[in-house]
A and B are shown apart, each in its own frame.
Chain A
Amino acid sequence: MALRRTTKQKIYRYAVYAILIALVVWAAVTTNWAKIGPLFFNFDVAVKMFPGIITTALVNTLWFTAVAFIGGLVLGVILALLKLSSIGPFRWIATVWIELFRGLPAILTIFGVAFIVPIATGIRGQQLGGPVVLGLIGLILVASAYMAETIRAGIQAVPKGQTEAARSLGLSPMKTTFWIIVPQGFRIIIPPLTNEFVLLLKDTSLLFIAGSFIWSKELTTFARDATTQNSNATPLIMAAILYLLVTIPLTRFTAYLERRMSRQR
């Protein structure tokens, strides 16, 4: 006697649930809670982290992210327009730039800028306000390459008829780009740009490679140093929670925007 298809599906689903629960129970039983508790969730160590983990570390992380995002955005718009230019050398410069900084690991670019620039030009990070400034320049380069491609896609998604209508009204190419194309392109790319912001926020953890002062520590560096000083990993857990408190609302917001846009079309 054959079972009904829905009954079969039900049995299959309960089997999957049972396996999942068994795995979780197994992990919980075999884990050494006595060791993990004090090492990763130590209340005394946690209290010592305040207020520095907020006022220095989180603020620096947000601040560095904002600088890299805005810098990357401005450069990204320029690169996108160069990439769409009818002039060959402009396109080539943009292509080389984008391929280079997308192709390299971000940590290498940051390292490269932080160490090659001082040797090549004699300008030291300290003269610019700290080694982190050179690191941020590296991060801006990385951000600009990713954002340029996103922005280019947004601009190209605006129908050609929009340019024609604008030009037929007497708007110059510059005015058409600024008043008609870019505003429409940006609407399209708000979700991917929010994503880019989240990626950058996490990439600020790579800035340590450029070297840091006490005042310029971001979340990861702050937590790592605090972990070493206290011989306790609680600061890392706190940093993780702080990252998630910022990134999860942002990714939820992106998902909301994407849903809303797919409804409009």
Chain B
Amino acid sequence: MITDLIDVHAPAIDLQGLVKSFGDNEVLKGIDLTVTKGEVVCIIGPSGSGKSTLLRSVNLLEEPTGGKVLIEGIDITDPDVDIDRVRTRIGMVFQSFNLFPHLDVMGNLMIAQQRVKKRSKAEAERVAKEMLGRVGLAEKADAFPGHLSGGQQQRVAIARALCMNPDMMLFDEPTSALDPELVGEVLQVMRSLADEGMTMLVVTHEMGFAREVGSRLIFMDGGHIVEEGDPREVLGNPQHPRTQDFLARVL
């Protein structure tokens, strides 16, 4: 039982020498990154820098080619680890929402609770309603994803992840597919999550969010972590030329 072995003092996420190749293309070239509990770490960088691959390696949606992924002290690249069990503790939010279109909002929020956590229907319903309220969409319980705006869909996706009561959340460019006027409502939900102490790893292009909410900022380029530190420091006074170059182009 993994849960019995969790080291309460271990960092939430600890990546050690993480390498990931697709064929001959090495996307991650030895990443070391530690995220302690309650931290909000934002990752920025040009496209192709490996930031999404890094995020997707944390819950093994991408199987690392080398190195270790420690979640709360357990190396989950060990084939004996029950990865499905680990994933229930790591919520993930995707750029394209990925809600289940054949299920209504409640169905989206309940299916993993019932099929993975083996919660009763009543219990799953109670949790789903609570999380839906948290993202401000209590009135959309019976709607189908196709009838919601992008911003609403992404908030439902966040609620769906929260229903598993995860210890940490991964966000993969959560606002990149949204119309500009819908970005704010999603960032608002993420901000309140951060305020409540959720451990978060966020790949984003929202520099404002990174500056105001992030406790640490990481700049990636070419499969390496090039620079990291306090978001205001990195954004205001970047040290590395590549960071300076990138920020000059996006800010």
Contacts and interface: CB of A to CB of B under 8 A. Distances in A.
A59 to B, nearest CB: 35
Counting chain B CB atoms within 10 Å of each CB, the highest count among A166, A167, A169, A187 belongs to A169
A169 B102 contact: no
A145 B229 CA distance: 59
Contacts of B146: 264
Contact of B115 (A161, A179, A183, A187): A179
Interface stretch (A40-48, A133-141, A170-178): A170-178
Interface in B77-100: 84-85, 87-88, 90-92, 94, 96, 98-100
A178 B102 CA distance: 13
B122 interface: no
A159 B90 CA distance: 22
B61 A162 contact: no
Nearest to B91: A168
Contacts of B161: 168-169
Interface string B91-129: 110101011111000000001100111000000000000
Given A161-B96, A175-B116, A167 B61 contact: yes
A183 B103 CA distance: 10
A168 B61 contact: yes
A88 B180 CA distance: 46
Interface string B39-64: 00000000000000000000101000
Nearest to B157: A165
Contacts of A166: 100, 112
Interface in A150-209: 159, 161-162, 164-172, 175, 179-180, 183-184, 187
Contacts of B157: 165
B100 A165 contact: yes
Given A161-B96, A179-B115, A171 B84 contact: yes
A164 B61 contact: yes
Nearest to A168: B92
Interface string B151-174: 000000100110010000000000
A224 B100 CA distance: 52
Contacts, number: 61
Interface residues of B, number: 26
Contacts of A264: 146
A169 B112 contact: yes
A168 B87 contact: yes
B164 A161 contact: no
Contact of B98 (A165, A171, A179): A165
Contacts of A172: 84
Contacts of B160: 169
Counting chain A CB atoms within 10 Å of each CB, the highest count among B59, B102, B117 belongs to B102
Given A180-B100, A187-B102, A168 B115 contact: no
A162 B96 CA distance: 10
B101 A184 contact: yes
Contacts of A161: 94, 96, 98
A148 B120 CA distance: 36
B116 A183 contact: no
B94 A169 contact: no
Given A164-B61, A175-B116, A179-B111, A169 B88 contact: yes
Contact of B164 (A162, A167, A170): A170
Nearest to B92: A168
Interface of A: 159, 161-162, 164-172, 175, 179-180, 183-184, 187, 264
16 contacts: A165-B98, A166-B100, A166-B112, A169-B87, A169-B88, A170-B84, A170-B87, A170-B117, A170-B164, A171-B84, A171-B112, A172-B84, A175-B115, A180-B100, A184-B102, A187-B102
Top 10 A-B pairs, shortest CB-CB distance: A165-B98, A169-B112, A170-B88, A168-B92, A161-B98, A170-B116, A170-B87, A170-B84, A183-B102, A184-B102
Given A162-B100, A164-B98, 16 more contacts: A164-B61, A165-B99, A169-B87, A169-B112, A169-B116, A169-B164, A170-B84, A170-B87, A170-B112, A170-B117, A170-B164, A171-B84, A175-B115, A175-B116, A184-B100, A184-B101
